[in-house]
Structure 1
Amino acid sequence: MRIALLQTTSPEGDDDTAFATLAHAMQAAAAMQAVTLVAPETYLPGYGQPDIPARAQPRGGPWHQRLAALCVAQGCGIVVGYAERDGASVYNSAVAFDASGREIGHYRKVQLFGPREKSIYAAGDSVATFDLGGIRTGLLICYDVEFAHLVRALTLQGAALILVPTANPEPNGHVSRLVVPAHAINHSVTIAYANYCGTEGAITYCGGSVIAAPDAAMLAYAGPAPALLVADIGRTPDPALLQTQAADFRPLG
């Protein structure tokens, strides 16, 4: 199965810019036979926007309707982060649609990062998996993937692929270079990590979007500039590098 990652600048609250960028990337991804495109964290309306609570939309609302139509028009699925309004609460969420425009996965970020996120969002309290092209798949968002227990929770549900919209700023380039491949090999899972690049207000993003295989091989890696990564995740990992931590794990106490 082939997947695509979009590394791009923030749309900075401009929905038309956001959807035009997604449409172009999905068209290219579909032309290369990718089943889905993974876009960054809270791409709708943009991670660093100052008025996220006012802009947040409900699950199934106008953003979702527009995304579903885009999937049908481009013949490609999408995973994208968005600010979700649910009553009085706002969540840092990600949604997955397949190429028919059907919602197949939804997730609310569990590990909120720093005082800003904690002041805006309520935290999610669960993980979930879904089927993507016959592969059991989970969603995490940015800081989540740095927590081993969340990666393990997904693999215990059978996930072989984890898709991660992210908004990783400088100077944290070590996350995509080191942490993501380490979790991929330790948990025998493919991890696709889609970051922003450029600046948004006071935030400078470090790029470095990556697709890491279960043997820690980087199937695709972006530098600091806009990029579309496409990789076939069906390669056979080096058996000598496959780990057995999941089977060997012994809890203390």
Structure 2
Amino acid sequence: MTNSLRIAVAQTGTPPETHDEAFAVLEHAITDARDADLIVLPELALCGYGDAERVRRLAVARDSAFIDRVRDLARRAATGFVLGYAEEEAGTRYNAALAIGPEGDIRGNYRKVNLWGPHEKGLFASGMPSPVMEWGGLKLGLLICYDLEFAEAARDLVLRGADTLVVLSATSHPYTVVPEVLVPARGYENGCHVVYANAVGPDAAFNFIGMSRITAPDGSVLAAAASDGPALIAADVKRATVDAWRSGHNYLADRRSDLYRLG
């Protein structure tokens, strides 16, 4: 256990039109992030967000041949992935995040809870909160885009042990408030790292803002991408940084859960 991970965020642009193109996105990310222990890609990175027909066409089951191919890529590269995809199961579709370890093992699968607007609600069913996953001595919890705008979603993961929130997003114009304010705020109020992987550029009716970033528990920005194109950013995320910050800013212990209702 190193209690530290080198995490890279691949801020992706033009959405794939086929599974082969989606696979090429992952291969490109591995080439660009050779020193990373974990590579994070945006919401629905393997099918794009804006074109409903494309989302339906590229949706796959978690145990599909395509996901097996992705798992084999992770194993060969000895690199973990957290990636966004459209998951199909028993005739129901989910906006999902799949966590694949460097041995090709599936460590977690999260289906977005808070669906945003008629576009998502017409395509997907809602899921349940993310598992908290042990990863390199850290504990990771997953959120997808609109989930981050609900403080209780992040707090729930941290109360269950997460020290790092991994957020896959397709945040579009004009919502720059999300990376600029909400990402560091969720980290600050919970004493945790936030890894925010956002899409960039146009996709059907949407125009994504990029601005992917990795923030520390004190709200500072460890790495950030611009808003004008694909990018690769990376930072070392350490449990020691979380422990040091919480030793003097223990909001979790000081909160008055006896006075405030969370439901």
TM-score by length of 1: 0.93
Structure 1 match to 2:47: 45
Tell me the equivalent position of 2:254: 248
Give 1:157-176 correspondences, 5 Å limit: 157-176=160-179
Structure 2 vs 1, CA of residues 241 and 14 (structure 1 numbering), >3 Å: closer, same or farther? farther
Do the aligned partners of residues 93 and 87 (structure 1) sit closer, same or farther apart at CA in structure 2, a change above 3 Å counting?
Answer: same
CA distance in 2, matches of 1:139, 1:57: 20
CA-to-partner distance for each residue in 1:13-32, whole Å, 9 max, x for gaps?
Answer: 23222211211211332x22
Percent identity over the alignment? 38
Q: Does 1:95 align with 2:101?
A: no
What CA distance in whole angstroms lies between the structure 2 residues aligned with 1:19 and 1:173? 29
**SS of alignment partner, residue 96 of structure 1:** strand
- Match for 2:151 among 144, 148, 153? 148
Cα distance in 1 between the residues matched to 2:115 and 2:167: 14
**How far, CA to CA, are the matches of 2:209 and 2:129 in structure 1?**
28
Correspondence 1:226 to 2:230: yes
Aligned partner of residue 217 in structure 2, secondary structure:
coil
Q: CA deviation at 1:130?
A: 0.9
Contact 2:87 2:94 in 1 (8 A): yes
Contact 1:215/1:242 (<8 A) preserved? no
Which residue identity is paired with 2:253?
A
Kindly provide the amino acid, as one letter, of the partner of residue 148 in structure 1. A
Flag the 1:114–1:242 CA change in 2: closer, same or farther, 3 A: farther
Structure 2 counterpart of 1:173, one-letter code: T
Of stretches 171-180 and 59-68 in structure 1, the one that deviates more from structure 2 is 59-68
Superposed displacement of residue 49, structure 1: 2.1
Go from structure 1 to structure 2 and tell me whether the alpha carbon gap of 1:242 and 1:80 turns closer, same or farther (over 3 Å shift): farther
Q: Which residue of 2 aligns with 1:236?
A: 241
The answer to whether the 8 A contact 2:11-2:198 is kept is yes
Which residue among 207, 212, 216 is the counterpart of 1:213?
A: 216
Verify: 1:8 aligned to 2:2, yes or no.
Answer: no
Q: Does 1:17 align with 2:40?
A: no
TM-score w.r.t. length of structure 2: 0.90
1:116 — aligned with what? 119
SS in 2 for 1:112: coil
Check whether the contact 2:194–2:214 (CA below 8 A) recurs between aligned residues. yes
Q: Which amino acid in the other structure matches residue 13 of structure 1? A: E
Per-residue deviation at 1:37?
0.3
Of 58, 79, 97, which aligns to 1:76? Answer: 79
Unaligned stretches of 5+ residues in structure 2: none
Whether contact under 8 Å (2:191, 2:245) holds in the other structure is no
Equivalent-residue separation in structure 1 for 2:29 and 2:56 (angstroms): 27
Q: Deviations over 1:195-241 (max 9, x none)?
A: 11111122111000010111101001111121101101127367499
Alpha-carbon contact 1:185-1:242 (below 8 Å) kept: no
Opposite residue 249 of structure 1, the aligned amino acid is: R
CA distance in 1, matches of 2:169, 2:184: 15
Residue 177 of structure 1 corresponds to which residue in structure 2? 180
Q: CA deviation at 1:145?
A: 1.3
Q: Specify the code of the residue in structure 1 equivalent to 2:214.
A: I
CA 1:242–1:11 in 2, change beyond 3 Å: closer, same or farther? farther
Aligned to 2:207: 204
| 1:28-58 residue CA offsets vs partner (Å, 9 max, x unmatched) | 32x22x1110001111211112212343111
Q: Give 2:169's aligned amino acid.
A: T
CA distance in 2, matches of 1:198, 1:57: 24
Show the counterpart of 1:195.
198
- CA RMSD in angstroms, aligned pairs only: 1.8
Check whether the contact 1:10–1:47 (CA below 8 A) recurs between aligned residues: no
